[in-house]
Structure 1
């Protein structure tokens, strides 16, 4: 039976952009409907950010326990090596995902948002047919917020299936692969590859570019390269993956090396992690007269599309494809629809790579600042000189905090860090740029001792050549 429904706001997609937009719209008293084909939470919560961090945490715990077997470490020893039941680890991860997804559902209900489980397909810009388990439903909205998200990118000639897996399947394996070949040494590939190395897999990276993590500069990625080398992880750069033969007992990757020679690698699993693509197919985008920017939907600084009262947010509108960007855009759009004056003009959107060690980058790097013609000073301070880092066995991984500031007025234009747990410093970094902080502001702020954040204060002092604890 087909039913008809009108609403003020229709949100398509229940990820971190869509559900935040819906909750905020509901809080503001707008009649809001959210359509989601899967569980609420989207890629980030269900098969991305959250489950990957859970797996990384478990892998790190397992690696730490192994270090205490035999003669032990830090005066702590265990009589035998720890054992891993990956299936139980995955169950633990799934419980976290289920708890958070249920929490999102509860928040939507509290805000008065109607959630329809189904697939929305648009007949025109404001009308869509929703396929649900109970039949069809026609929905007409005054405002439409497109938050369709993105999907893993499949390589030509290497389709997913069998032992060729995406990041989604990598987060649900029941056994640790003996040898995992990872195609792509960007942040997704490196995070998962490093986690499986800690769990005991032999790991080989095959990267088309000339180095790992090309969005970060070499100074930031050097500690990760050192970790990979120390843990016998092979990284093959300048390589083009061509095909995978799954006819034998093991999948065999065929790739072309820098010299143009065809090479092969036999593996247990081949993880393809070469990026994500916006979800623009299968839901009627062709029936909505919105302008495109390449693969993405084009929007202005309020996330308006070229069609009146049709909005788009998150991965659908381009880089950076980050959950926190989508959430900020979703909240903003809901408030604009409710009559508030808002625009999306962040000074910088922080990016974190949860590798070993972690990387944080906010704003401009020294090279980017100079490319823009800025005259800058750079202050850098190593975690090797921070007491808290040493007490966490985190001072010898080559990590540091780096601050980039203009010479004329001392305004901070960028902060980067690499090291253990530096993701937790990202809030201070982003706030400093958003508030237009001067180097003196960070240098003059009393930071708690002993904490990793002291490196931020020291890096600020280092821009003047006045760091207190410079080794």
Structure 2
């Protein structure tokens, strides 16, 4: 006889495990099905380990510019690649075990295997085809069971996404990497091509550049980090190129040729010419696609679009009792969006009052390259496309005392307001620690704050955050320090 639950969640990434925790808090009998490792891609192969790598890169960068701070160190600081990677994997393992603890604490059963929805309210779990391969990621101790049939009133799909591959330029794990291989290089390549300049591509490009690698980025669109405000990405590009990165925009990799230990990319540039670029390795960072296969969705008639499950603001699909959250449910494919969707979905199906649907327009985005980039809401170009009458404010970090003291005065804070109502429509930042600052604008937008409240908010001095208020003042002709 099948074991019955209130909620079964397929996938234990940020969306899945957070949804499971919230369901457990609400007293729902909950199980989560995982086939490989708790925490999903973000914790094990994405957000967390990449930030550990980038932290090592940041310290290395600072160490090699100590004279700028009046400090002297004999000799040049170098990187121990194996130690850098080991630290990154250790950070991931620590958080992986933490997810297992959270499942146990909130009385969530962990079912190890691969799930398929056979009909609304029923899943069959088979043995995983992807067993855990890393010793630091042991199977959780609170496994309820493995193979078998399980039933639940509510089934939440949180299976995440995987790297997208271009025909003829498929990653092979040797010469052409995805982020999986890029996270664990056996040896540091001397040269690298990065195909794609979204957050994943630029973060890896920045990391390897700091490690002393000759890095070339190829982007098919006119700007790097295409979803960001063009003015911000122009500043980021200038700084990345100043560090030595070579960037080609409005260009595409037409084909590749593989050698014994190198790869040659035939890059078609905007003028129609073909440039051949040879490097030790290439990273394919051309986006991700949802893991919707082998779940039984087609048989059930669950609606999908461009490789993702179609949902409403509460995670509901077109089939009653089946929900989807996170990357598998479409962009923006960000861990914090997945977490929020998970909480909203569970609270709504549990019948809690006043549950608000997820507003994707208020999901912040962060890119942890050097310099950092962060944003929320509409870009200036998008606001104009929508016909909004806007005010735009800017404040350069070159006029911010803390940024100057940090030796990181190349940055910008840019804000966009509705001219008639004072509504904050968007905020865009590039520079030191802006990924830690953007939440201020996110909170402001969520509280429907206008320019007046922001102008009357006292920001601490000296901080880089003062540039946020100055940008607001600038939008209304009241900037004080520029």
TMscore range, shorter length: over 0.9
1:352 corresponds in structure 2 to 366
Q: 2:148 aligns with which of 111, 127, 137?
A: 137
Q: Secondary structure at the match of 2:394?
A: strand
Q: Secondary structure at the match of 1:17?
A: helix
Gaps of 5+ in 2: 129-144
1:389 corresponds in structure 2 to 403
Q: Secondary structure at the match of 2:241?
A: helix
Gaps of 5+ in 1: none
CA RMSD of aligned residues (A): 1.6
Which whole-Å CA distance do the structure 2 matches of 1:52 and 1:118 have between them?
A: 27
Which whole-Å CA distance do the structure 1 matches of 2:241 and 2:457 have between them?
A: 38
Which whole-Å CA distance do the structure 2 matches of 1:289 and 1:434 have between them?
A: 35
Q: 1:113 aligns with which of 83, 97, 108?
A: 108
Q: How does 1:68-79 map to 2 (within 5 A)?
A: 68=66, 72-79=67-74
1:303 corresponds in structure 2 to 315
Which whole-Å CA distance do the structure 2 matches of 1:250 and 1:200 have between them?
A: 18
Q: 1:160 aligns with which of 171, 186, 203?
A: 171
Matched, 1:27 2:25: yes
Q: Compute the TM-score of the two structures, normalised by the length of structure 1.
A: 0.95
Which whole-Å CA distance do the structure 1 matches of 2:300 and 2:402 have between them?
A: 55
1:325-362 deviation line (CA, Å, top 9, x unaligned): 11011011111222113232435111112122111111
1:126 corresponds in structure 2 to 121
Structure 1 residues 284-293 or 438-447, which shifts more?
Answer: 284-293
1:413-437 deviation line (CA, Å, top 9, x unaligned): 2111111110111111101111111
Which whole-Å CA distance do the structure 2 matches of 1:448 and 1:249 have between them?
A: 53
Q: Compute the TM-score of the two structures, normalised by the length of structure 2.
A: 0.93
Q: Does the 8 Å contact 1:206/1:236 carry over to 2?
A: yes
1:78 and 1:348, CA in 2 relative to 1: closer, same or farther beyond 3 A? Answer: same
Structure 1 residues 162-171 or 210-219, which shifts more?
Answer: 210-219
1:428 corresponds in structure 2 to 440
Q: Does the 8 Å contact 2:315/2:345 carry over to 1?
A: yes
Query: By how many angstroms is 1:317 displaced?
Result: 1.4
Matched, 1:287 2:282: no
1:205-245 deviation line (CA, Å, top 9, x unaligned): 12222221111232111221112221222112232223332
Matched, 1:151 2:162: yes
Q: Does the 8 Å contact 2:344/2:358 carry over to 1?
A: no
Query: By how many angstroms is 1:135 displaced?
Result: 6.2
Which whole-Å CA distance do the structure 2 matches of 1:124 and 1:260 have between them?
A: 52
Q: Does the 8 Å contact 1:157/1:242 carry over to 2?
A: no
Q: 2:383 aligns with which of 369, 375, 378?
A: 369
Q: Secondary structure at the match of 1:300?
A: coil
1:320 corresponds in structure 2 to 332
